Structure 1
Amino acid sequence: MNNILRLAVQKSGRLSEGSMELIKSCGINVSNGIGKLKAKASNFPIEFFFLRDDDIPGYVADGVADIGIVGENVVVEKDKSVAIVHRLGFSRCRLSIALAKSANYNGPQDLNGKGIATSYPKLLEKFLAENGVNAEVHEISGSVEIAPSIGLAEAVCDIVSSGSTLFTNGLKEVETIFQSEAVLIANENISVEKKDIIEKLLFRIKSLQQAKNNKYILLNAPESNVEEIKSILPGMRSPTVVPLANKGWVSIHSVINENDFWEKIESLKAAGAEGILVVPIEKMIL
């Protein structure tokens, strides 16, 4: 058991789905079935605990779990002694303040004297203190968005992804106070043996993230234009250049960052590139 890494993940919901998709993409086979709270991987030294997301930082801090996947907003709100090991890039959302659609809002000072309902009192109180706002914080769990309609508070502070839930409840987002995403957290006193397993897991995760952020590109071009195209597509070290059957033409293979794709593609066409193919990368080892 000492050489088995214990990972806490959310037992249901979008964060749970993203976490298990990541684990399976890392080549780790696990079958948790329906309603099971524990499961072991068949091909990696890792055991899974399926918990409420609010409980994960506490379980990791207490050493019941070695690591956990949870929203950064929950980590900061719970304020447990855990280390954020790596940002995972999924389940991105924001913690925002919302008011009735008809309300005027010109800045944080407009919140003075108002009641604000939230499940994140620490994050909200920090924002209010930083902006010198005196408001009444009502801590509630779940269905925060109905607070104004039942007269509990004039405003809410809640997690927002698309904003559709606020809209359907007659609210508008007026202030974002925290940006969040899924993060990997760890117990601060984890053993050396388990740190080695975490590094192996991180190697797989980072390979997936590198692949997601890049594309493999293949194109044909006149041999005389190779140097110009190489300056546009430097690749990880240098593009691969392969002669084609047609004399004076080559095939150039390289990797391009997703964010640079459309800007680079115009430059490549201007440099004489033809037959451009862009292919997703499954995994990328640097």
Structure 2
Amino acid sequence: MLRLAIQKSGRLSEDSLKLIRECGISFITSSLKLKTESTNFPLEILYLRDDDIPGYVADGVADIGIVGENVLVEEGKQALTVEKLGFSKCRLSLAVPKSDNYKSIHDLNGKNIATSYPNLLQAYLHEQGVQAHIHTISGSVEIAPSIGLAEAICDIVSSGSTLISNGLKEVERVFKSEAVLIANDSLDEEKRRVLDKLLFRIHAVQRAQKAKYIVLNAPHESLQEIKDLLPGIKSPTILPLAEEGWSSLHSVVNEDDFWEIIEKIKDAGAQGILVIPIEKMIV
């Protein structure tokens, strides 16, 4: 049985549970339970404070965990990282009151900065050659300037709406973060096998999220040109249509290139283009 630690509540928790379900792993959740066991996979889920997850995994209380990269680096546990997961993306940023005439990071020399991430902030300030007074607080960082505790804050930002509602503006990006899968470096052989199976499923889900399955009709005189634009996993699948002189092409397109490729194949003569989401993709 592999023990997975995830954040007990919040966006990261929701995204983590969504990924596990997309991997075909079933479990029952309850706000009253601090752990649950899968009914169809050798996995037990522990619901913990995100700040505690790196330490629990390092100490072997949990075998693996999903945590924000910012928390992992702040706790000095980067060596535990197994995989970047691509969701719950955010940034650690410096912010000051909107009314401040902020020009550069050096405006913060000698100032007070409130944060829940003193290590990441100190490393950034040192890199920038800035000396400031760091006040470590555990929550409600955005209120610090309005109550006179600090002239600036350093906190996690997603959309920026929380900063705006507290009369602040983002001025520097300190660290980019996303969810990462971490693991204890002393897993036994059996737990390593289960982790490999879980990673296999995660990779299949990740590939599917980055790709689109497309089906189109094309005249034979345009087949080669369109085929060259649609590499697919190996090459496009081509099937003859009932109407003579036409074929159907099936392919997989990377989402980043999707619209550019669609425009090109349409210009080349493709018709009836269907775009279908992919649930899993195994290569």
TM-score above 0.5, yes or no: yes
Answer yes or no: is the 8 Å Cα contact 1:223–1:250 preserved in 2.
yes
2:95 counterpart (92, 95, 98): 98
Amino acid at match of 1:85: V
Alignment partner of 1:263 is 2:222? no
Shift of 1:153: 0.1
| Number of positions where the alignment pairs a residue of Structure 1 with one of Structure 2 | 283
Does 2:226 align with 1:239?
A: no
Amino acid at match of 2:72: V
CA separation in 2, counterparts of 1:239 and 1:111? 56
Determine the structure 2 residue equivalent to 1:250.
247
Distance 1:153 1:259 in 2: 42
| Contact 2:110 2:131 (8 Å CA) reproduced | yes
1:21-59 CA-to-partner distances (Å, cap 9, x unmatched) read 111111101113222011110110111111000000010
Pick the aligned partner of 1:220 from 214, 217, 221: 217
What is residue 113 of structure 1 aligned with on the other side?
A: 110
* Aligned twin of 1:88: 85
Equivalent residue number for residue 62 of structure 1 = 59
Q: Which amino acid aligns with 1:40?
A: E
Q: Which amino acid aligns with 2:194?
A: I
Q: How do 1:36-55 residues align onto structure 2 when only pairs under 5 Å count? A: 36-55=33-52
2:176 to 174, 179, 184: 179
Report what 2:10 is aligned to. Answer: 13
Which amino acid in 1 is paired with 2:95? Answer: A
- 2:272 corresponds to: 275
5+ unaligned residues in a row in structure 1: which ranges? none
Out of 160, 170, 190, the position equivalent to 2:187 is 190
Q: What amino acid maps onto 1:41 in structure 2?
A: S
Q: Deviations over 1:54-88 (max 9, x none)?
A: 00001001000000000000000011375100111
1:158 alignment partner in structure 2: 155
TM-score, length-scaled by structure 1: 0.97
Q: Identity across aligned pairs (percent)?
A: 65
Question: What letter matches 1:46 in structure 2?
Answer: L
Contact 2:72 2:78 in 1 (8 A): no
Aligned mates of 1:8, 1:176 — CA distance in 2? 28
Q: Which runs of 5+ in 2 are unaligned?
A: none
